[in-house]
Structures are given as C-alpha cells and as structure tokens.
Structure 1
Amino acid sequence: MSFIGSIGSFIMQPLYYAISVVLVGFHTVFGKLFGEASGAAWALSIVGLTIVIRAALIPLFVKQIKASRNMQLLQPQVKELQKKYGHDREKLAQETMALYKDAGTNPFASCMPILLQMPIFLALFRLLDHAAKRGDGRGILSDEKATQFAHSELFGVQISKTFIGADGDTGVMIMAAFFVLAMLVTTFTTQRQLMTKNMPESAMTGPYAQQQKMLLYVLPVVFAVGGVAFPIGVLIYWTVSNLWTMGQQFYVIRRNPAPGTPAFKAKQQRDQRKGIAPSADPSAATATEEAPPTHQRVQPKRQSKSQRKKNTGPNKNNP
C-alpha cells in the first residue's frame, strides 16, 4: 500500500506545484487587500485559480462543443445503422465507429474537459485537505501558509471545514450546504441548457439522448453526495468552475448553435431583427436537395406576324 501511495504522490507532485504556484500568487495579491490570514483572501485565491484553469481548458471546451454538436447531427444516420444492423451488435459497432471517424468526431471527446479536470480537482482537494488537517504544505505552499489557510474564516466559517466534519457547527453546515446546492443546481442547469437549446429533435431519441438524459439527473446527485465530504474551499472551486462552464456554454450556443435546434431558430430571429441575412439551415438545405425536381412547361417563344407567315408559308404550298 505504501508503494502504491508513493507512486501516487510522485504523479501528483507536478500538479501540487502547478496549483500551489497559482494559488500562492493570487494569495499574495489578495492578502495585501484583505489580510493574509483572512478567509476572503484565500477564497478569492481559489476563485482566481479556477479562472486560470478554466481559461487554459478553453481549447478543449471548444472541441467538446464541436464533438457534441457533430454527435447530435449524426443521430439520424446512427438510427439508420441501428435499423440496418440491429441484429448484429459487432457490425453495428464497427459501422457506427466508422461513421464517427468519417465525420471527424468521437463520442469520448465530450468528456475530455471533465476527465482532465479530475486530477486537478483531486490535487486541489488533497492540497487543501492536508493543509486543513495536518497543516502540511504541498508544492510551494509552505507549512506556515497551510496552517494559515486551515484557520482562515469567511463570514466566521473556516473554509477548510466540511459538512460531515462540521462537529455541530451550524455556520459550517449552512455554508457547505449552500455550496453543495449551488454545485448541484449549476451542474443540472448546464446539462439541461445543452439538451433543450442545442439539440435537434432528431437527437432527442435514441441511445445518445438516453445517455444525456441519464447524465442530466445522475451527475448532480453524484456531486451532491460527494460534496458533503469536500472542504468548503474545494466546493468554492467546483461551483465557480460550473458557473464558468454554464456561461461559456451559453455564449457558444448563442453565437454558434447547432442547425435545426431551438437555439439556431432563435439566432435566425435575432439576425432578422438586426437586418442581418439569416444563416441557412443545412438540414433544410439537405431536404431541398433531396426533393424531386419539378418540370415546368416551356412556353413557346413569341414571334412576329411576318415570322409566322414565313414559317407557315412553305406548308401552305405543299400539295
């Protein structure tokens, strides 16, 4: 067990240093404004750390949105494959993955920002947890700073405390419950925003839609159950991260919605009110291209009286 723990500690050391550098850097600034030992300085330092991390993950978030959008648009084709190869699971899986490959998307790409955040989240949790329980620093966070964090208070509540470790302290329980609830609501709202605003009707049924609906209700519950064991400082990080995600997703959906979605129609209406030519809906264009062409009767060219006589003259002379 100690050998495994040593390996884990070796892997986490770079993250401890990266997180502590940003955290201590912000604390140096906010400590001069609010006092080095104040909870406000440490809480704002955690907020600053969150913003830096999420700003660094913007390229991955853009890839996540594109991957999710492509997955939605491919759902009609996935359904056709399910009808065709529903009796052969292996063939269905092969054809589905080939479809994703040809479209340049990946069902796992939408999970990358969350997966990459988890080691950072774990490192922050252990960093703050060690500081709170033992007064031990990690990275460039000294033991003195760690002890200072452990005893710092925000509105009279130690931000190193947890809901289940409140020891009957009502203030700790109320603040921890507030951030757990905020974490739950922001997670649910972000996922629901994606489903109701940026999913076409064709994508609202099938396995992918069922997966999204399951995540809509499961993820908030998982975070809420786990959140009661997180220090308030970690809850601040996760809540701010969720708010960032919600705002960033709202901006992307509003500016670049997926075709055939309520958000796309809303953007067309906004463009019309501004006098901007609305963007064409590719789904509508596809339907137009597939529609059979209509043959119109060609009207005869108008001719003058002399031309008509000239054209009919030889016919009259024929016996």
Structure 2
Amino acid sequence: MDVFATIMAPFKWLVSALMVWFHDALSSIGMPAANGWTWTFSIIGLVLIIRAALIPVFLRQVNAQRRMRRLQPDLKKLQDKYRGKTDQLSRQAMAQEQMALYKEHGTNPLSACLPVLIQVPFFLALFQVLSGITSAAGQGQGIGAMSRQQVVQFDQSSIFGAPLSASVLHGGAGDQAAVTVLTVLMILAMTASQFMTQRRIMARSMPEDSADNPLLRQQRMFLYILPLIFSVGGVLFPIGVLIYWTTTNLWTLAQQFFVK
C-alpha cells in the first residue's frame, strides 16, 4: 500500500467530512444542494474551521516574531565578530553561537513558517479530493466522507460559469474562459495578500537597521518567490482549491492587521 496515501487518508476524510457538514448545514437553511455557491461556502467554512483551530499557533508565531526582533542586536554583534572570517572553523563556530542565541531567546528562523506547515496536509488532502471528483463521479464512487450523490453534485457545480473541479490545464464541462479569468483573479488576490502579509512579518521580526541581516535577505526572497509559486500552482489546481488558498491567505492578512 502507498505510504503517502495511507498518511493522507485521515486528512482526506476529515476535509471532506467538514465540507459535507457545512454543505448539509447550508442546504438545511434553504441553499440549493447542487448549487456551486453552496459548495463554495462549504470550502470557505472548511478554511474558517482550520484557521480558527490554528489561532493559538498564530499567537505563538507573533510572540516568536517579537523575540526575533529583540534578538537582532545580538545577531549583528555576532556577524561583526566573524566578519571576514571564511574558514570552516569560524563558520562552524558562528553557526553554533547563532543557534545558542536562538535557544536563549526561545525562537528560531522557521517560527513564522509553522502555521503554513501545519496546513500543508489539509491543503494536499483538499487537492486530492477535488482532483478526484470528476473521475469518481464517472465511476459512481464517493470520496472520503462525500457520498456518490454529493460527488456528482460537486462535479456539476460551478460559479460564474467555472466548474469547481476544473483547472486551467484540466478544464471541466463549463466555460474554459471563465475558469481562466477566475483563476487569474484569485492568483492576483493570493499574491497581493501574501505580499502584504510577508511585509508585515518582516516589519515585526526585523528592526529598521538590519538591512545586512541574512535572515532579512531570506525573508525578502520569500517575498518575491511566493508570488511565483502562486502563479505556477494556480494553473495546476482546481477552482475549489484556489478558493481555499485565497481564503486562507486573506485570513492570514486579516490576522496580521488585527493582532498588534
């Protein structure tokens, strides 16, 4: 048995179960069960549940960013101490002293990535569920907690003429132009929100006089690489996955503005 599939199975079931729960709740208040907006709001509800559960992790991230900012003067002294020393022993000594500083201040350079890393299995699970919708619908099968009827409903649902299970490279039965336009709009929204979020993270974790800090250069690299990742990923992922991705980016941006 595929080890990766075995690991992802519970995540696929949980993601699909949450979507079904929101879908049934929305249907019970009068929204059409087979309507694309009902399933869209179900995906948004999935994001809200996952991100709400991650609020404690986000607060730890903010505290880690503050500690990282207080750490910068000591890091600058360490860089000045080893400036111009390129031998192996000096590099090892600098790395050891740097790790000791991180431990002393209770932080590390990857602290800002923790919420993203936790979300990865849920994102991959949603991608697997939505990517297999059309195939499962054709074979009369369910996926995870989704019944055969719900799989067919999702496969036939769309918003603005774009099927939720379609992507730019793998169009569905709907209007391919609508899929392309909606994909581009969501990529722009994801890119803008991610750019603004990363700028706020840099402002929180780095003092203004740390222009030569290697960690700041690393964060600046993420600032411009992530939009490229969004652009490439956007043409590969179904519309439903892009809805999830856009919503979670907007949530992250709102959190950065809300938590001072």
TM-score, normalization: structure 1? Answer: 0.74
Matches within 5 A, 1:67-106: 67-86=64-83, 87=85, 88-106=90-108
Q: How far apart in 1 are the matches of 2:53 and 2:168? A: 30
Report deviation, 1:197.
6.4
1:224 alignment partner in structure 2:
231
Alignment of 1:143-162 (within 5 A): 143-162=148-167
Q: CA deviation at 1:42?
A: 0.2
Give, in whole Å, the separation in 2 of the partners of 1:96 and 1:137.
52
Residue 114 of structure 1 corresponds to which residue in structure 2?
Answer: 116
Give the counterpart letter for 2:147 in structure 1: S
Pair 1:10 & 2:10 matched: no
Give, in angstroms, the shift of residue 102 of structure 1.
0.8
Identity of aligned residues (%): 44
Q: Give per-residue Cα distances to partners, 1:150-203, cap 9 Å, x unaligned.
A: 111212221111012237721111112111221111111211233346642133
Q: Alignment RMSD, CA only? A: 1.7
TM-score by length of 2: 0.90
The match for 2:191 is 184
Structure number with greater Rg is: 1
C-alpha contact (below 8 Å) 1:130/1:137 kept by paired residues: no
Which runs of 5 or more residues in structure 1 are unaligned?
256-319
Q: Which one has more relative contact order, counting CA pairs under 8 Å at least 6 apart?
A: 2
Asked if 1:239 is matched to 2:246, the reply is yes
Q: What does residue range 273-284 of structure 1 map to in structure 2 within 5 Å?
A: none
CA distance in 1 between counterparts of 2:63 and 2:253 reads 16
Partner SS, residue 74 of structure 1:
helix
1:63-100 CA distance string (max 9 Å, x none): 11221221122112111111213421100000010011
Name the counterpart of 1:288: none
User: Please, which of 28, 31, 38 is the counterpart of residue 41 of structure 1?
Assistant: 38
Q: 1:214 Cα deviation (Å)?
A: 0.7
Superposed, 1:193-204 pairs within 5 Å as 193-196=200-203, 199-204=206-211
Query: Secondary structure at the residue paired with 2:142?
Result: coil
- Unmatched 5+ stretches in structure 2: none
**Contact 1:133/1:150 (8 A) holds in 2:** no
| Corresponding letter in the other structure for 1:187 | Q
- How many residues end up aligned between the 2 structures? 249
The worse-fitting range, judged by mean Cα deviation, of 127-136 and 99-108 is: 127-136
Pairing 1:130–2:132 present = yes
- Whether the 8 Å contact between 1:85 and 1:91 is mirrored in structure 2 is no
